[in-house]
């Protein structure tokens, strides 16, 4: 989905020209981002590419075998979708492989960054992991407080 939205954005949007999608709340503004969030690290594109490759391998080799609940799988799927969506841009977009600029297009009113579907996936995965961690910690703490029933036999 990320790559389809990016292809459509490049085909139908003019760079730097804003199109209102939902009034001023959600707008489309096509940019090519060499850096990370908010354009930070624009000179370190190859570092972001290397990190994305390492993160993808870690997700597949370390996290995937440890999935124990459905929400783990959903969070990991979203994370992998986001990482690989932006990595595809870094590999295939100008100026050169592993130095390519990420295509961003969504702009929210009062939010400084312009982002894409892959960024939404990464953010949703991070939120799921944080909330899931708190819920798991709370359940573990509740389980520790409950008395253990003894066998009557």
What is the per-residue pLDDT across 74-97, written as a single tens digit (0 to 9) for each?
A: 999 999 999 999 999 999 999 999
Cβ partners under 8 Å of residue 123, min gap 6: 82
What's the whole-number mean pLDDT along residues 138-151? Answer: 69
pLDDT number for residue 92? 97
Beta strands 19-22 and 114-115: pairing type?
unpaired
Res. 111: pLDDT tops 60: yes
Q: How large a percentage of the chain has pLDDT more than 70?
A: 93
Peptide bond into 52 cis (omega under 30): no
Q: Report the distance separating Cα 7 and Cα 130, nearest Å.
A: 32
Q: Which residues are catalytic?
A: 104, 119
Res. 56: pLDDT tops 60: yes
Q: Are 88 and 3 in contact (CB under 8 A)?
A: yes
Read off the pLDDT band of 41 (50, 70, 90): confident
Q: Report the distance separating Cα 121 and Cα 74, nearest Å.
A: 10
What's the whole-number mean pLDDT along residues 111-117? Answer: 94
pLDDT number for residue 134? 87
Beta-strand runs (E) in the chain: 19-22, 26-33, 102-108, 114-115
Structure pTM?
A: 0.86
Torsion of CA 112, 116, 118, 121, to 10 degrees: 60
pLDDT number for residue 42? 87
């Amino acid at each position: 989905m990320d790559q389809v939205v990016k292809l459509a954005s490049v085909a139908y949007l003019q760079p730097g020209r804003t199109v209102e999608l939902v009034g001023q709340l959600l707008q489309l503004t096509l940019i090519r981002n060499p850096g990370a969030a908010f354009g930070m690290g624009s000179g370190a594109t190859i570092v972001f590419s290397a990190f994305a490759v390492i993160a993808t391998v870690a997700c597949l080799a370390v996290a995937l075998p440890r999935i124990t609940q459905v929400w783990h799988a959903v969070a990991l799927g979203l994370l992998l979708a986001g990482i690989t969506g932006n990595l595809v841009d870094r590999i295939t977009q100008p100026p050169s492989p592993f130095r390519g600029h990420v295509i961003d297009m969504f702009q929210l009113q009062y939010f400084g960054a312009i982002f894409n579907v892959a960024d939404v996936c990464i953010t949703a995965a991070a939120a799921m992991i944080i909330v899931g961690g708190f819920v798991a910690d709370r359940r573990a703490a509740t389980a520790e407080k409950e008395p253990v029933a003894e066998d009557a036999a």
